[in-house]
Chain A
Amino acid sequence: MDNTIRILAIGYDEPIMKVVGRLIDSHGNWQGTVAMSREEGMLKLQSGFYDAVLLCVGVTEDDEAALNQVMTISNPDAKLIRHFGGGSGLLENELRAVFDKK
């Protein structure tokens, strides 16, 4: 059984998002995809399957509402998670808080 957790990380600061993507991929069964704009995030949501959507640096509340709207149609079971801190300190905690309950 495939136990990969697919995570779409959306954020608008390229250097920070490179780190976030690398940190996600460094975790055992997590697989990260990074989108650097709201539009790219929407396209990736429409064309792929994700277990979680991580909202990172630069994503506004308006962006969140728009992405959530797309997500409810294309990825209704995905968890929407706001990421704070920009690095490894909270990232694993935020994802585990969702997936350890499953």
Chain B
Amino acid sequence: MAQHILHKNESRGHDHLEWLDSKKTFSFADYYNPKRMNFGALRVLNDDTLAGGKGFGSHPHDNMEIISIPLEGGLRHEDTAGNKKVVTAGQVQVMSTGSGLFHSEYNNSDTETAKFLQIWVYPETLNTTPKYTQITLPGASQENKLYAFIQPGQETDTATIRQDTWFSIGTFDKNTQLTYQTHKNGNGVYAFVIAGSFLVDGKELSERDGLGIWDTTEMTVQSLSEKAELLLMEVPMEF
């Protein structure tokens, strides 16, 4: 029987600094809640707003799969593997940090705020060679469908990370219904509402709510508002 864990928007950890407003679904940095450590291999889901011209200075990472999804504006990325990129809303940045690198991430605008989701997934193997990928989402051409933008076995226009994960995103008209089937036994799905509201496996979710679902292979999704946007993250529950 399907198991659920609901994380309401307002229950998330919240850091508000002059340059950064960060809402954290799971424990991260100063936010520590032993009941909110992870959902399977999904360890971090931060909903960040960066002030114009501000960002994260050079800092290290290793052994973590880091996915950044800009929702508004853009991020200027630079790392010690030689990557210098700007990733904007409608694109996704995927970094397998493996054996380690330093990087910085700044708002690409000096005046406008940038909003993005920062997602970390535990890797399947340690100390691999770092890898950087940037992809563009299909946008309007894929409306009312889920688009799998991270999946094992890299295909054109999708990315892969070093874990058995499938990430899908979609924007829907009101009352669109679909069924999501997991790709691998033992995987769970974490649904996060980017905009609007949804009914996911019978649970009503509002903007920025999250729902973890496991011990099932199939779940129903229904959009309850126009231009409703949903992110589904399928990850191993044991890893």
Q: Which residues of A contact B (CB under 8 A)?
A: 13, 15-16, 19-20, 56-61, 84-90, 92-93, 96-97, 100
Contacts and interface: CB of A to CB of B under 8 A. Distances in A.
A16 B63 contact: no
Contacts of A90: 28, 43-44, 120
Contacts of B64: 84-86
B97 interface: yes
Interface in B31-52: 32, 34, 37, 43-44
B32 A96 contact: yes
Given A58-B99, A97-B34, A85 B127 contact: no
Given A13-B99, A16-B100, A84 B63 contact: yes
B158 interface: no
Interface of B: 27-30, 32, 34, 37, 43-44, 59-64, 97, 99-100, 102, 120, 122, 126-127
Nearest to A16: B60
A89 B63 contact: no
6 contacts: A20-B60, A60-B127, A85-B62, A88-B29, A92-B29, A96-B32
A97 B37 contact: yes
B37 A87 contact: no
Max count, chain B CB within 10 A of own CB: residue among A20, A60, A86: A86
Given A84-B43, A89-B28, A58 B127 contact: yes
A55 to B, nearest CB: 9
A18 to B, nearest CB: 9
B22 to A, nearest CB: 11
Contacts of B99: 13, 57-58
Contacts of A56: 62
B43 A19 contact: no
Q: Which of B27, B30, B62 has the most CB of A within 10 A?
A: B62
B206 to A, nearest CB: 27
Given A16-B62, A86-B64, A86-B100, 8 more contacts: A13-B62, A20-B60, A60-B126, A84-B62, A84-B64, A85-B62, A85-B120, A88-B59
Contacts of A93: 27-29, 32, 37
Nearest to B33: A93
